[in-house]
Structure 1
Amino acid sequence: MGDILIGRNASVELLERWVENVGLRKHMLAVEAAVRYYALIYGEDEGLWGVAGLLHDLDWEQYPNEHPQVALTELERLGYPDEILQAIRAHAPERT
């Protein structure tokens, strides 16, 4: 999975701890699949892009008014790479 130190399994476990809504979980998994495909097409790191897609709405259910700041703080604390943090920031530029 490229240079990412925190892999998909740990990221799925994090998602399962933070997100209860089945529809939101499915959305996050679908975004992961889509961005992995785009990474493949563009010759980018599928693992990195996939984890960013998987976790992009991590805090939406619990903290919709603070989204994505709460997730960014937690992911940074956990040591996720800046590329993932930046991708999550970029999907909600009006809030970051």
Structure 2
Amino acid sequence: MTRQEALELLKQHVSNKNLVNHCIACEAIMKRLAKHFGEDEEVWGLAGLLHDLDYDYTKDKPEEHGYKSVEILGNSVSEEIKNAILAHCEKKTPETLMEKALYAVDPTSGFIVAAALIKPEKKLAVVDVEFLKNRFKEKGFARGANREQMKSCENIGLSLKEFYSLSLEAMKSIAEEIGL
């Protein structure tokens, strides 16, 4: 599956523009992490882009989240991508580097968006790693962004600071596309 085919499939199945932007942000971060680790950027990017493909179907049935995406995707992507999708929503234990990365990336993109939105400019350009690290400590900030899941970046050999740096760099590179 090409990136364009994946994006079209995502837009066909996900109606919420903010969720589509979340998936695009996760794609960018996954590609940046793949580059950092010397992995296949396209494969990692597809995992990020498609990880919430089934959200419209499963938002009220979280027990089906991930499984429905794998069903929709069928044989159009590798088992590696499908396993990463399952691991991000805890339907399998994250084992590979890509699975562990996507697990950590999922809440991080939303956390970074929330950080941008509380700034007067509402732009990623004014967010820095120190700002993110300070907000990480605030339990009331971006409550939906699971801190333990973000901190699991340590399982891929990155400190939270390094992880935020790579993630923020990736999201800034697509800021215009996601409206930030």
TM bucket normalised to smaller: 0.7 to 0.9
Asked if 1:67 is matched to 2:62, the reply is no
The whole-number CA distance in structure 1 between the counterparts of 2:69 and 2:34 is 23
The whole-number CA distance in structure 1 between the counterparts of 2:7 and 2:76 is 15
What amino acid sits opposite 2:69 in the alignment? A
Structure 1 length-normalised TM: 0.87
Question: Which of these two proteins has the greater Rg computed from alpha carbons?
Answer: 2
Match of 1:79 in 2: 76
Match of 1:3 in 2: none
Give CA-to-partner distance per residue, 1:5-58, whole Å, 9 cap, x none.
x11011001001001101101100000000100000000000000000000001
1:1-96 matches, within 5 Å, as 6-64=1-59, 65=61, 66-75=64-73, 77-93=74-90, 95-96=91-92
Structure 2 length-normalised TM: 0.47
The whole-number CA distance in structure 2 between the counterparts of 1:60 and 1:13 is 15
What amino acid sits opposite 1:74 in the alignment? I
> For this pair of structures, how many residues does the alignment match?
89
Q: Looking at both structures, which has the greater relative contact order when contacts are Cα pairs under 8 Å and sequence separation is at least 6?
A: 1
- Percent identical across equivalent pairs? 39
What amino acid sits opposite 2:78 in the alignment? P
- Give the SS at the match of 1:58: coil
Q: Which blocks of at least 5 consecutive residues in structure 2 are unaligned? A: 93-180
- Give the SS at the match of 2:55: coil
- Structure 1 runs (4+) deviating above 3 angstroms are none
